[in-house]
Amino acid sequence: TQLLEQSPQFLSIQEGENLTVYCNSSSVFSSLQWYRQEPGEGPVLLVTVVTGGEVKKLKRLTFQFGDARKDSSLHITAAQPGDTGLYLCAGLDSNYQLIWGAGTKLIIKP
């Protein structure tokens, strides 16, 4: 069974702080997607990383795909209350199925 483990499960920090959340697996993925889900809404895609070692930046968010394409991280610089949400990672396996993590619930306090 393929698993994507996300850590931490929950993170509450003050506005302006930096943070990193992780998405780890023992399986190799063709690509990995990060989604953000706000209360009362469905997940919305933030980024897709494809190449091992790839780094993508989206304003204050930096996404990295591990060299072996088994893990990924999301770093947020100077977090803002608008970053609050559930961050989900999903890996595309060799059968083109999306394998989902359980998510990191992030709260940014003003």
Partner 1 sequence: ETGVTQTPRHLVMGMTNKKSLKCEQHLGHNAMYWYKQSAKKPLELMFVYNFKEQTENNSVPSRFSPECPNSSHLFLHLHTLQPEDSALYLCASSPNLAGAVYNEQFFGPGTRLTVL
33 makes contact with partner 1 (CB under 8 A): yes
41 makes contact with partner 1 (CB under 8 A): yes
Q: Figure out which of the listed residues 43, 54, 63, 106 binds partner 1, where binding follows CB under 8 A.
A: 43
Q: How far apart are CA 106 and CA 88, in angstroms?
A: 11
Tell me the HSE value of 20 on the side-chain side, using a 13 A CA sphere.
8
Under a CB-based contact definition with an 8 Å cutoff, are residues 23 and 4 in contact? yes
Q: Which stretch binds partner 1 (CB under 8 A): 14-22, 58-66, 77-85, 88-96?
A: 88-96
84 makes contact with partner 1 (CB under 8 A): no
**Of 103, 92, 107, 91, which is closest to residue 19 (Cα–Cα)?**
107
Cβ of residue 12: shortest distance to partner 1, in angstroms?
16
Under a CB-based contact definition with an 8 Å cutoff, are residues 73 and 22 in contact? yes
Q: Which stretch binds partner 1 (CB under 8 A): 11-19, 58-66, 76-84, 93-101?
A: 93-101
66 makes contact with partner 1 (CB under 8 A): no
